[in-house]
């Protein structure tokens, strides 16, 4: 931590917190979208671009590095497809990825329910 970190104000803290929460949520969201089939980056961005997912919207500069990272870690596998004349990388969740996704979903539910309890106890709901 630098001296500048100590001098950062409340808005900076909110922005950092929001970014960290979003990073973890996006991996979970992508895996949930792909779980029962194959998908490619543009389809994922289109799904998360729907109104009900506005807090999870992705830009290509976030989507493709995240997909590559999940693939590198063995959670996703990808294959090139040339259907309809467009070359696309289709991704699917690996067996190990399914196991990790189950753990992620359980952890997210537990964390969310405990945080909501604390928020309610604090009278913030």
Instruction: Look at phi and psi of residue 10 and say left if phi exceeds 0, alpha if psi is from -120 to 50, else beta.
Output: alpha
pLDDT at res. 87: 92
Q: What is the pLDDT of residues 75-108, one digit of tens each?
A: 999 999 998 788 999 999 999 999 999 999 999 9
Low-confidence ranges of the chain (pLDDT < 70): 1-6
The alpha carbons of the chain give a radius of gyration, in whole angstroms, of 17
| Tokens, residue 59 | 């830009």
Q: Tell me the β-bridge partners of 92.
A: 77
As a whole number of angstroms, the distance between CA 34 and CA 90 comes to 10
CA separation for the pair 12, 14 (Å, rounded): 5
Q: Report the pLDDT value the prediction gives residue 124, as an integer from 0 to 100.
A: 96
Q: DSSP secondary-structure letter at 88?
A: E
The pTM assigned to this predicted structure is: 0.86
pLDDT at residue number 125: 72
Domains along the sequence of the chain with CATH: 9-121 (1.10.10.10)
């Amino acid at each position: 931590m630098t001296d500048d970190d100590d001098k950062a104000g409340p808005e900076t803290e909110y922005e950092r917190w929001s970014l960290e929460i979003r990073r973890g949520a996006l991996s979970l969201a992508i895996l949930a979208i792909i779980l029962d089939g194959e998908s490619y980056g543009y389809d994922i961005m289109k799904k998360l671009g729907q109104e009900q997912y506005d807090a999870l919207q992705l830009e290509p500069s976030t989507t493709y590095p995240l997909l590559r990272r999940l693939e590198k870690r063995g959670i996703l596998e990808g294959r090139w497809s040339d259907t309809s004349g467009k070359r696309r990388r289709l991704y699917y969740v690996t067996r190990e990825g399914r196991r990790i996704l189950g753990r992620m979903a359980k952890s997210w539910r537990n964390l969310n329910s405990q945080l909501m309890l604390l928020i309610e106890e604090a009278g913030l709901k």
